[in-house]
Amino acid sequence: MSKQPVIILVGPQLAENIGMSARAMMNCGLYELRLVNPREDHLSDKAISASSNAEEILYNAKVYSSTEEAIADLNFVYAATARHRDQIKSVYNADTAAIEMNKIMAEGNSCGIMFGCERTGLSNVDVSLANAIINIPLNPKHSSLNLSQAVLLIGYEFYKTQIEKPEVHLEMNGTTLAPKDKIIKFVQHFEELLENCGNYRAGEKREKMFINLQNIFTRNQLTEQELNTLYGAINYISRQN
Amino acid sequence: MSKQPVIILVGPQLAENIGMSARAMMNCGLYELRLVNPREDHLSDKAISASSNAEEILYNAKVYSSTEEAIADLNFVYAATARHRDQIKSVYNADTAAIEMNKIMAEGNSCGIMFGCERTGLSNVDVSLANAIINIPLNPKHSSLNLSQAVLLIGYEFYKTQIEKPEVHLEMNGTTLAPKDKIIKFVQHFEELLENCGNYRAGEKREKMFINLQNIFTRNQLTEQELNTLYGAINYISRQN
């Protein structure tokens, strides 16, 4: 039983789009591709070249002569479609579908996602074979996507559910943040240099400027190395170097 | 002050990719494109054709001769890059960056996202101009994206923050679900038909079968119209029609 959804391209027209879909699949860690009556050869030079090193997926792809055969062994199938369909069916966004797929597969079911051909998308009969619809939320004034881009967006949402991702992280490049005392000493040093200039402000204004400087260099999350760079730079411009 | 992030393509090589990036932008409701030293003409036939009806973005695009000029008026700039950089900088996923961008713009700041050229991506100097990095979480074994696909994924995450989207909805096609009594009557009718067959099970097995049938047709969220279709179908196969 597969733990990844199978990608099913129904009647794809262009070899280039089949190749680019394979590339998008590999970007998203998806490897099982099925093709229903592709118009062009999925192993042509055009397809292989467009796959951009994802040709492994093309070589392993299975070709079927009907949608029914292509989905025969699957337990749950989604239809990716941008158009409104006159069918009573649950419609998922790409992200909620991805979460749902994981639940379905965790219970031992296999999953597939069908994509229609470039010109017309999935037929109504193909959509009626699906358990549910995936609709990618996009600008309603311009929601037409290239086939491989539709595969990419849905694959991307699935990939996001497969990884633990840090919300935001600070890239530290092997160093650590400078300890506070070094920041404080640096700001004091900065102020001394300013004092040595002729027209440094006095009193309240000076206090305010000091606090501003302190904030600027504290908020920055400086490393020791960066602090050394700053020391060098301000010493140089103050000609004390 | 723009409420959308500006897309900045630094040194894009192929007209087709510029066009496809414009298409991806329009898919995601983004309209402001800036180009730094594009190698090919962004108004060439190739670019216009690849934009697939998003040529309005290409006609309005501004061309600059340096990254510094292209971002001069912006308050906050992200660098989209897949490669690890030896720079101390916050790294956002595409989704967290989109949320952050909205906060930054809500405070009156303008935002931009820089993308590098197809072959090498952004230079280290260009990355150093950015306030933060956006990294799209993708299969580390195959994270190389086409330029327009990178624009699409980041644009898509931004678009998702702009809309209220229902988690899942059942497409009803103007009808409503059948009231329970009609479902119950239908299951009873089904059972009657079964009784009229010769070898219908009795006792406990029959009770179990009835419950199964009830569950099947209740779980289905049938509409009245579908119920009528079902009546017709089972009556027909039972030759009572």
| Contact at CB, B28 and A87, closer than 8 angstroms | no
One-letter-per-residue 3-state SS of chain A? CCCCCEEEEECCCCHHHHHHHHHHHHHCCCCCEEEECCCCCCCCHHHHHHHCCCHHHHHHCEEECCHHHHCCCCCEEEEECCCCCCCCEEEEEHHHHHHHHHHHHHCCCCEEEEECECCCECCHHHHHCCCEEEECCCCCCCCCCCHHHHHHHHHHHHHHHHCCCCCEEEECCCCCECCHHHHHHHHHHHHHHHHHCCCCCCHHHHHHHHHHHHHHHHHCCCEHHHHHHHHHHHHHHCCCC
Q: Do A142 and B90 touch (CB under 8 A)?
A: no
Token pair in block for residue A115 = 């994509």
Is residue A164 within 8 angstroms of chain B, CB to CB? no
Say if residues A174 and A224 touch (Cβ distance below 8 Å).
no
Nearest to B52 among A137, A144, A152 (CB): A144
**Nearest beta carbon to residue B138 from set A53, A84, A159:** A159
For residue range A45-57, list pLDDT tens digits in order.
999 999 999 999 9
**C-beta of residue B114 within 8 angstroms of C-beta of residue B10:** yes
Interval A162-175: pLDDT, tens: 987 666 777 777 77
Residue B63 or A183, more confident: B63
pLDDT for the residue A2: 47
Nearest by CB to B169, which of A20, A91, A153? Answer: A91
A interface test, pick of B21, B87, B139, B147 with most A CB neighbours within 10 Å: B139
Token pair belonging to A162 = 């497969």
Q: Is the pLDDT of residue A153 over 90?
A: yes
In this prediction, residue A191 carries a pLDDT of 83
CB contact under 8 A, B96 and A168: yes
Residue A55 pLDDT? 95
pLDDT higher than 60, residue A240: no
> What does DSSP say about strands A168-171 and B89-93: parallel, antiparallel, or unpaired?
antiparallel
Summarised one tens digit per residue, pLDDT across range A52-99 is 999 999 999 999 999 999 999 888 899 999 877 777 788 999 999 999
Question: In this predicted model, which residue has the larger pLDDT, A116 or B216?
Answer: A116
Q: Supply A110's token pair.
A: 């296999």
What is the value of pTM for the model shown? Answer: 0.82
